[in-house]
Amino acid sequence: MHAESSGRTALVTASTGGIGEAIAVALAERGAKVVVNGRDPDVVADVAGRLGGHGVTADAGTAEGAAALIEQVPDADILVNNVGVYVTRPVFEITDAEWLHIYEVNVLSGVRLARHHVPRMAGRGWGRVIFVSSEAGVQTPVNMVHYGMTKSAQLAVSRGMAQEAAGTGVTVNCVLPGPTLSAGVRGMWDDLYPGLDPAEQERRFVSERRAAGSQLGRLIRPAEVANLVAYVASERSSATTGAALSVDGGLVPTIFP
């Protein structure tokens, strides 16, 4: 077991599956007291129990859910804003309601929690805030322009908050995963490539779709994203703030970010 986050309280939104759960596992392995969050109380209790953490059932993508999280977890040393939604839609068919909904979930969720926690972290002289953004924030997906917009917005929010927290001991950063393997992706593969084994499904998906530019030739694994988040959440990352940190397998064909 590593001890980079020993004794720290870490709140990870949407942490009952996928990248969020992998982050919760990685932080727990490094000694953090993890607060697991999700919308299904049974799943929240199961994951929290396995990690020896505390579970809070709340929809972090709503104002009411964020308020419930803040009420039950008024102080956290590490805040990982992971909750997010995405859907494919031609840009000129996205309704006002869809634009506003995806913005509220993907952007305002983190704003609401950081607005509460960062000043309190600063008062204690230490804190880590990590927004789980996406490579879609720097190369907008044509079939998910509204999703890309929210991921770009997270970069701006993170940078601005880092500047506001300058000199306080609190760092604010974004982590930018590329296409990542999840249960939902596996289900999509079964629809796209019925009858093929998972390795062949992944090969076909990578070669034919958005991940074709990956230098890995495969999708990212949630634990690989979690490893970077765990570093950024640790004492060792004290000189890293206001940054956009890629974990996209080289998918974005530029040097920065």
Tell me the chain's radius of gyration from C-alpha atoms.
18
- Domains of the chain: residue spans and CATH: 9-180+221-242 (3.40.50.720), 181-219 (no CATH)
Is 147 marked active-site?
yes
Name 168's Cβ contacts closer than 8 Å, sequence gap at least 6: 121, 122, 125, 127
Tokens coding 246: 């890629």
Q: Could you read off the pLDDT tens digit of each residue along the chain, which spans 257 residues?
A: 466 788 999 999 999 999 999 999 999 999 999 999 999 999 999 999 999 999 999 999 999 999 999 999 999 999 999 999 999 999 999 999 999 999 999 999 999 999 999 999 999 999 999 999 999 999 999 999 999 999 999 999 999 999 999 999 999 999 999 999 988 788 878 888 999 999 999 999 888 877 878 999 999 999 999 999 999 999 999 999 999 999 999 999 988 76
Name 85's Cβ contacts closer than 8 Å, sequence gap at least 6: 61, 101, 102, 105, 106
User: What spatial distance separates the first Cα and last Cα of the chain, rounded to whole Å?
Assistant: 31
Of 86, 103, 147, 193, the active-site residue reads 147
